[in-house]
Amino acid sequence: MENQEAGLDVSVEDRLCVVKFNRPRKKNALRVKRQMQTAELRHCSCKGEYRALMAILDRAAENPGVTVVAVTGEGDYFTAGNDFIDSLENTRNDQSSAEGTEVWEKGSSSGINSFRDFITALVNFPKPLVAVLNGPAVGMGVTILPLFDLVYASDKATFHAPFVQLGVVAEGCSSYTFPRLMGMGKAAEVLLFGKKLTAKEASDRGLVTEVLPHASLHQVWPRIREYAKFPLKTLLTVKEMMRANDRETLVKVNIMEMEYLKKAARSEEAFTGIMNMFAKKSKL
């Protein structure tokens, strides 16, 4: 079974559900909503990747024919994280000349709520989650990785979380998971000062399970398909045993981070940071 939802490809075969970020021309950046042009309507606002991902996870959790969910990317990137450029373009399309900041703030708040719900869905997902990083991960693509049970990465993958440079704050429960995985100093390098990690550095810091040569990354899929043949009820039980003690804490951390993110999104630093990024992209 294969289908597409927003910028995603989804397939289920042999008890493995594969979700592929599929916006390679946008480095697989994820949108809160997407604008579609039709003959009848100039713009039609549709759900973006986050809501679509939540729907996919809900279906996979309830489907007895799915044992494992694996997430990967199409093209050169795993994901460039949140599509700030798309958000700004939608803001520019919707605004009158002097309303940019106000519209950006309202749109950001709505988007943050969607992102909060997506992180909650990852935290609560009962079945094994596997990430296969075919290339670089940025922002959200980095911070969600500790919420997966296995993370395999190409040796060409890099890991970059430039939140502070953009005037926003870390999310994806990373303010809790990164210090636990790496220690406070190593986590601060990544979350405070935007240190870009190589795949080996990410593995050494506990963010990646295993690094594979890029040309051999495809060899991990037969292994994952074997995992999908494992007894489902036992997998559910062991994952619950491993994750139960942290789940309540992660949900609280997610809510806290999103409140800080809403405040940051209303700041001049964030608006300026995102606008500067937009200006740089526009010159390319």
Confidence (pTM):
0.87
How far apart are the C-alpha atoms of 75 and 28, rounded to whole Å? 8
Phi, psi at residue 232, to the nearest 5°?
-65, -50
Could you read off the pLDDT of 129-168 as tens digits, one per residue? 999 999 999 999 999 999 999 999 999 999 999 999 889 9
CA distance 194 to 74: 25
For 28-45, what is each residue's pLDDT tens digit?
999 876 544 433 333 334
What does the pLDDT look like over 80-132, one tens digit per residue? 998 866 554 444 444 444 444 444 455 567 788 999 999 999 999 999 999 99
**Cβ–Cβ < 8 Å for 141, 78:** yes
**Residue 282: CB atoms within 10 Å:** 10
Domains and CATH numbers, the chain: 2-220+231-283 (3.90.226.10)
Place of tokens 């040569």: 213
Candidates 38, 39, 21; CA nearest to 30 is: 21
- Residue bearing the bigger pLDDT, 271 or 190: 190
- Residues 261-279 have pLDDT tens digits of 999 888 888 767 666 765 6
Residue 130 vs residues 47, 56, 69, 93, 125: alpha-carbon distances, Å? 24, 15, 6, 37, 12
Q: How far apart are the first and last CA of the chain?
A: 38
Q: Does 77 have pLDDT greater than 50?
A: yes
Nearest to 143 by CA among 245, 221, 5, 257: 257
Per-residue pLDDT band for 1 (boundaries 50, 70, 90) equals very low
**What tens digit of pLDDT does each residue of 46-60 get?**
568 999 999 999 999
| DSSP category for residue 207 | S
Residue 24: exposed, middle, or buried by beta-carbon count in 10 A (0-12, 13-18, 19+)? Answer: middle
Residue-averaged pLDDT of the chain: 87
Instruction: Look at residue 4 in the predicted model and tell me its pLDDT.
Output: 67
Residue 246 token pair: 């942290």
Which band of pLDDT confidence, cut at 50, 70 and 90, is reported for residue 6? Answer: confident
The answer on pLDDT for 7 being more than 80 is yes
Residues 78, 157: contact at Cβ < 8 Å? yes
To the nearest 10°, report the CA torsion of 243, 246, 248, 250.
Answer: -110
Residues in the chain: 284
pLDDT band at 169 (very low <50, low <70, confident <90, very high): very high
Predicted confidence at residue 68, as pLDDT, reads 98
